[in-house]
């Protein structure tokens, strides 16, 4: 599978490494252009680099892992007909306040789905720290295998991302549709906490829509 990644930060690079190891093709991009990505070429063997538009067009699946405030800068037509993996999180101090999110009226993934109306959106990779992606990968059926939450409205996209997570060393827990993805957004019990499938299901169920955990509590 060809995976385009928009955002060459820690999450984007970690997913790129795991995807390449699993036998997929990857193109990473950032907002400044491929001429600024020499460290990717030297540090991630086999990875291609390009502009954001090139990565979007390259990928059968496109991971968007950028500061949330910039998602609308990506042209929706670049991802038309493709599956978009949404690894974004809303941090008001960084992204500025978005009234509908502050009022708990919508999820971050639903906002992306409205912008990328011709794409199939899957919430994934937003609820794990980048270093944990590389450290916590385990073989299938390992007793300490970590589970990651996903959410999507599309059954085919759901099956695809579950298979990909298995390939790179993680179980998956279905968190429902995009309107339920708030259950593993920032400051919820499942956010960036290492859990197996049973524990993750419990954390998703324990989430309360308008209750946020203290900043940084997931780093314990």
Which domains, from first to last, does the chain contain? 2-219 (3.40.50.720)
Instruction: Give yes or no for a contact between 133 and 10, defined as CB atoms under 8 angstroms apart.
Output: no
Q: What does pLDDT average to over the chain?
A: 95
Residue-by-residue DSSP string for 64-83: E-S-GGGGGGS-GGGGTTSE
107 φ/ψ angles, rounded to the nearest 5 degrees: -100, 160
pLDDT value of residue 109: 98
Instruction: Calculate mean pLDDT across residues 166-181.
Output: 98
Closest CA to 184 of 6, 192, 164, 74: 192
Q: What is the edge-to-edge ordering of all strands in the sheet holding 171-174? A: 48-50, 25-29, 2-6, 61-64, 83-86, 120-123, 147-152, 171-174
Q: What is the pLDDT of residue 220?
A: 57
Q: How many residues does the chain have?
A: 220
Percentage of the chain lying above the pLDDT 90 cut: 90
- 139-165 pLDDT, tens per residue? 998 999 999 999 999 999 999 999 999
> pLDDT grade, residue 219 (50/70/90)?
low
pLDDT of residue 141: 87
Answer with the residue of higher pLDDT: 42 or 66. 66
pLDDT value of position 77: 98
The model's pLDDT over 119-142, given as tens digits with 9 standing for 90+, comes to 999 999 999 999 999 999 999 989
pTM: 0.95
- 81-102, pLDDT tens digit by residue? 999 999 999 999 999 999 999 9
């Amino acid at each position: 599978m060809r995976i385009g990644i928009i955002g060459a930060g820690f999450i984007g690079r970690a997913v790129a490494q795991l995807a390449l190891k699993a036998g997929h093709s990857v193109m990473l991009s950032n907002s400044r252009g491929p001429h600024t990505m020499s460290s990717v070429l030297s540090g991630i063997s086999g990875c291609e680099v390009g502009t954001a538009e090139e990565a979007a067009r390259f990928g059968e699946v496109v991971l968007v892992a950028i500061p949330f405030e910039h998602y609308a800068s990506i042209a929706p037509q670049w991802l038309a007909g493709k599956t978009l993996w949404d690894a974004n999180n809303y941090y008001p101090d960084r992204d500025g306040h978005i009234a509908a999110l502050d009022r708990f009226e919508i999820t971050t993934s639903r906002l992306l789905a409205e912008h990328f109306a011709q794409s199939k959106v899957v919430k994934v990779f937003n609820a794990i720290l980048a270093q944990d992606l590389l450290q916590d990968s385990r073989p299938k059926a390992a007793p300490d295998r970590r589970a990651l939450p996903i959410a999507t409205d599309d059954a085919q996209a759901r099956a695809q991302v579950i298979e990909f997570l298995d390939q790179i060393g993680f179980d998956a827990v279905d968190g429902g549709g995009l309107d339920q993805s708030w259950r593993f957004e920032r400051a919820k019990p499942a956010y960036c906490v290492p859990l197996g499938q049973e524990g993750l299901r419990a954390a998703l169920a324990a989430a309360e829509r308008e209750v946020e955990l203290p900043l940084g509590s997931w780093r314990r």
